[in-house]
Structure 1
Amino acid sequence: MGNLVIVRHGESQWNQQNRFTGWTDIDLTDNGQQQARRAGRALAEAGIRFDLAFTSVLKRVIRSQWLIVDEMDCMYIPVISHWRLNERHYGALTGRSRADVIAEFGEDQVWEWRRGYASRPPLMDRQDARAPARESRYRDIAPDVLPLGESLEDTVARVQVFWQEAIEPVLRQDKNVLICTHGNSQRALVRLLEPRMSDADVARFDVPNGVPLVYRLDRDLRILDRRSLPIAEATSSSIL
C-alpha cells in the first residue's frame, strides 16, 4: 500500500492570539506559511509523493496544502475539500481568548472542554451570524447536520463519515494520500486509524503545526508503521 500523510495547518492568526478558532475562517501568519513550506520540504526530502490531497474548506488548511505541494513541485495533484474535515466547532467559545474563558468558567472547566473526549462547549446560538447554516459555503448542507458546538467525540463521528465514503476507498486503490487538516480533525483521523487508542490518549494526542504524520498501511488499512517527520522549531498551539 501507499503512504497516508496527515499534516496540521501552519500557525493561524488566532493560534498566535490563543483564541478558540473552530470554524472561523482565519488565515495563516507568516510563521504559519513557513511551517507549511518546511513540511513540504521535509516530505520532498523523504521521497514521499502524492496522488491526491484532501483538505477542509477553511483557508488556513487550504493555503497550507498549497504551500506544501508547491514546495514538493506537485501542485498538479487533485484536491478534494470537504467540510467534514473542518476543525472541531467550539460553539459559543468561538473567537474568545483562552484567558477570558478561564476567567469566566475556571481553568478546570476549560481544560475539560479542551481535553475531555466527550465534553461539548456551550453551543452557539442558531441566530448567530457566524452559525454555519448562515454561511454561503454550507448552503447545500441540511442545517440540522451542521454543528453549533462539538466535543472531540462528535468530531470523530463527523470525520468518520467522510473517511468511509471518500478517503478509505482511495487508500484501498494503493494511492499516496495527503490530508491537510486541523488539530482536532487530525485527532479524529488518528482515532479512526488506531481504534484501540483510549479516549484520553486521543484527546491528548500531540498535534504540532506543520509536522507531517506518516502512516504506512497494509491492504486492510492496518498500520505497518507510523512516524512524524523531523521538523526544526515544531510547535503546538496551546489552545488545542
Structure 2
Amino acid sequence: MSKSFGIKSGILHTYKTIGFKSVCPAAKAKQLNMKTNQLVIIRHGESEWNKLNLFCGWHDADLSEQGAKDAINTSAVALRESNLKFDTAYSSALIRARQSLSIILKELNLCDLEVVSDWHLNERHYGNLTGYNKRDMADKYGEEQVQSWRRKYDVLPPPITADNPYYHSIRNNPSFKDIPPTEFPDTESLKVLMQRVIPYFENVIFKQVLGGRRVLIIAHGTVARALIKHIDKVSDENISTVNVPNSIPCVFEFNMETGEKVGKTTFLADENFLNEQIQKTASIGESNK
C-alpha cells in the first residue's frame, strides 16, 4: 500500500494509507450526495537543465532521458493504476512540459485528448540567474540568499539583462510570440508569477473542472506551488516549505456546486519515494564543474 500526503499550513503530512486504485473516493461527499470532480497537476519530468542543476525558468530546455522515463514509469503508471480519466490537458508553452504531456498521453492511449499549451502556465522567470548553477550561486551569494530567491513568496531574482547568454533565445522563442510586450517578464517571484497563473486557472481551467471536465495540468515546480498555495490557502510564510517533485501526480477534489475542495491534497507516490524526491527538489544541489 502507498501513502498519500496532505498539505496543511505549507507542510506535507501523511494522513492515511491508500491503494493506487482507490484514490480520493471522497466518502463524505458520497454520503451527502455531493457531486465532485478531480483535478490532477504534475510537474514535468527532469529536464536537461534540472540534471545539470541550472536555474532554468523560461529557457526552453528539453527533457532529459531520465525525465522521459519518469513520465512513463512515475507519472503514467500512477495515473493508470489510480484509474484516473481525463477530458482535457493543459501544459505550459515550454517544451519540457509539452514533452512530458505527450509521453504521458501516449502511455495512457489518450493521444486524441484535447490539449492546450499556454504561456500563462510557464515556469517563473528566474531573471539573471538563468543558466547559472544553483550551487555555484550559493557559493557566490550564500545559501540563504539563493534559497530566498528560490522559495520566498515575494523575493525577486535580479532581472535578466541583454548580456545574459540566454536573453535573446528567450525573447525570440516562437512559442512566446503571442505574449504582449508589456507582460513579458524579466524576472518573477512566486507572488508575481501568481498574478498570471491564478487568473488563468480561475477563469479558464477551474471553470472546466466545476463544469465536470476532468483536467490534467502538466506544468512546473513554481506553478504547482502557486496552485497549491491558492487552492490550499497556504500562507505567504509557509509556502517556502512546500516543494513539489518532478513527475509525481498531485490530486485535488472539488465540490462542483460550491467550488470548495473536498478532502486533502494527495500525491500519488510511495511515502519513501515521495520524501526522497521532495528532499531532492528542496536541495541546492551540486556544482556541475
Normalising by structure 1, we get a TM-score of 0.93
Q: Secondary structure at the match of 2:70?
A: helix
Kept after mapping to 1: 8 A contact 2:93/2:118 = yes
In the other structure, the counterpart of 1:71 is: 107
Name 2:179's counterpart in structure 1. 141
1:108 corresponds to which residue?
144
Unaligned stretches of 5+ in structure 1? none
Kept in 1, the 8 Å contact 2:120–2:200? The answer is yes
Structure 1 position 126, deviation (Å): 5.5
Q: In structure 2, how many angstroms separate the alpha carbons of the residues matched to 1:186 and 1:62? A: 15
Distance 1:95 1:135, change over 3 A: same
One-letter identity of the residue aligned with 2:128: A
SS of residue in 1 equivalent to 2:149: helix
| CA–CA separation in structure 2 for the residues paired with 1:191 and 1:108 | 22
1:32-111 mapped onto 2 (5 Å cutoff): 32-38=67-73, 39-111=75-147
Q: In the TM superposition, what whole-angstrom CA distance separates every residue of 1:161-185 from its partner, at most 9, and x where no partner exists? A: 2112211211121111000010000
Mapped contact 1:213–1:229 kept (Cα < 8 A): yes
| 2:241 is equivalent to residue 204 of structure 1 | yes
Partner of 1:227: 266
Q: CA deviation at 1:105?
A: 1.6
Mean Cα displacement is larger for which, 100-109 or 133-142? 133-142
Q: What value does the CA root-mean-square deviation take over the aligned residues?
A: 1.9
Decide whether the 8 Å contact of 1:57 with 1:83 is kept in 2. yes
**Mind listing any 5+ residue stretches in structure 2 that lack a counterpart?**
1-35
Q: Which residue is equivalent to 1:156? A: 194
Q: Distance in 1 between matches of 2:222 and 2:135?
A: 20
Q: What's the offset of the Cα at 1:100?
A: 2.0
Seq. identity, %: 35
SS at match of 1:221: coil
> What is the number of equivalent residue pairs in this alignment?
239
Equivalent residue of 1:54, what SS?
strand
| Partner-residue secondary structure (3-state), 2:116 | strand
